[in-house]
Amino acid sequence: MTSVESTRVKPPTPRERARTQTIADIVRLGREHLALHGAAALSLRAVARDLGVVSSAVYRYVENRDELLTLLLIDGYNELGDEVDAAVDSVPESDFAGQFRALATAVRAWAIREPASYALLFGSPVPGYQAPGERTTVPGTRVIVRLVHIFDAAFRAGALDAEVSPGVVIPEGLAADLAAIRTEMNLAAPDASLARGVLVWTSLFGAVSFEVFGQYGPDTFKAREELFGHQLSVLQGVVGLQG
């Protein structure tokens, strides 16, 4: 296919650059609209208005409303993923507990800064919209993949206490699920650690969601950063991460 080669070799034409820029503008304006009115009220007409263009013009760039939602989903996952990666990368490789806390803190900071995008990614599903797995799975799993790799690296380095509470047994079906995950992600940690890792994952997002979605109420917790920090300490203990 000559056309594929040529698009790689040739620099983008002005028209192509304009097109890329316009799509980026549409995503940006979509996010603003999301922040103000929520995903269910996201409208192509409103984005067109903000873009200074007639409503039918956005159909040159986006197939329909659902595709705009998909673009926003991917954009959100990648922004979160980038910030999480940067935060984790700034901690020494051997400091697994520090990496875990950096990841969690980055998730919380992004969620508080971008509550509408966070709600789109981790809140109630948008009625009538189904994300296309082939486009969203990879960006959508960046945080959990990174988290699992921190735990697994800690285990391989002997920094993960796999015998936190030997009394709890892993039932058969769960063990099968965990075995499949271990194979697919090429992990070394035992069932007990993986299962606890899953709980830490859900607990982290549970804590962030409660805070972002206002479940704590307006007055009950004033020291929210301290609360979150304490929760991280306890979760560290849950998964047996020393530090």
Residues in the interface with DNA (CB under 7 A) total 23
Q: Tell me the residue ranges of DSSP E strands in 136-175.
A: none
Quick one: 98 or 229, whose CB is closer to a copy of itself? 229
181 binds, among a copy of itself, DNA, none (CB under 5 to 8 A by kind): a copy of itself
For residue 53, the minimal CB distance to DNA (Å) is 4
CA distances from 204 to 38, 174, 209, 229, 236 (A): 23, 21, 9, 11, 11
14 binds, among a copy of itself, DNA, none (CB under 5 to 8 A by kind): DNA
91 binds, among DNA, a copy of itself, none (CB under 5 to 8 A by kind): none
Quick one: 12 or 214, whose CB is closer to a copy of itself? 214
Q: How many helices (H) and strands (E) does the chain have?
A: 11, 0
CA distance 92 to 28: 34
Among 24, 32, 36, 64, which residue sits at the site for DNA (rule: CB under 7 A)? 64
- Residues with Cβ < 8 Å from 40, sequence gap 6 or more? 126, 127
CA distance 32 to 53: 17
Interacting residues toward DNA by CB under 7 A: 13-15, 18-19, 22, 42-46, 49, 53-57, 59-61, 64-66
